[in-house]
Amino acid sequence: MTALTIEPMRIRPLHPALRLTFPRVVRSELIKARAVPLTWAAAIFGLLFSWVFVGGGAFSRSIEGVVASGENGLVGAETGNIESVMVLFLPMVVGALLSNIDYSSGTIRSTLAVVPKRLLWLGSKILSSIIVVLVISSVTVASTAGLCAVIYGVRGAPNGLTARDLQGFAMLLVTAVFLGLLGLFLGLITRSLAASLTLSFVIVLVLPLAVGLLSGQIPWIVTINPFLPMNAASSLISLSSVAEAGFLDSSLGGFAIFLGWTLAGLLGSAVLLRRRDLPQEARRRSR
């Protein structure tokens, strides 16, 4: 009688095309973002909103002769008014939409099962959101600047772009990325599209108005005004130096404030993602 011998199972290495890598996760997130109709709807709405309000403002000022002084950089000045017509609210909406793709569709468990490393998935979500926000914001800013240039050219007003205008466009894109990440983190923390959009609306409109109304009754509340995201956006777009406006009201101060908000949102999202979205087996082991 011969002894039964069992050979150990040979595990074949995973094919390189099937390995889970960071670029592949980012690509899958971009595919999901492109497939969501609300992302396209938000981009189209923001583009039309920018054309109507900023282009309409440029047209009215050209008719009134306000721009007949021969100054340069008028196109950049008009495009800078994107902030005043609330188009910077668009990146926060896009970020909130991208963060809730998996939560609203109920596929977050399967997504985290495919991508077990939570921080890898979070990093891919952040990078894909930056790419989407940059594309949408670049198209919005460039097309609005072109529209203003055409309007001023038809009316015979100067419409040249200066180096300061290009710096302003770059700061607009940086601000859009920061606001998009803020909307993304709000969505990841709340796990609700309605809640993240409501908080975004509060941050963009309600908080600045509330601080302005209460500043006369509560003097110390003015001290928190520069730290609000929209005031930081104004400081960042203003291209003011520290010597001209002070640190908090300068572009450097606005960048530092936005960086603080981003790091706080990243920390909160990472902690909640690791603690709250654990699989059932890991939850039992942690008890």
In this predicted model, what pLDDT tens digit does every residue of 261-273 receive, in sequence order? Answer: 999 999 999 998 8
In this predicted model, what pLDDT tens digit does every residue of 142-196 receive, in sequence order? Answer: 888 788 777 776 656 555 566 777 787 888 889 889 999 999 999 999 988 889 9
Return the residue matching tokens 């038809």.
Answer: 154
Residues in the chain, pLDDT under 70? 1-19, 61-87, 153-162, 277-287
Our CA dihedral for 278, 279, 282, 283, rounded to 10 degrees, sits at 70
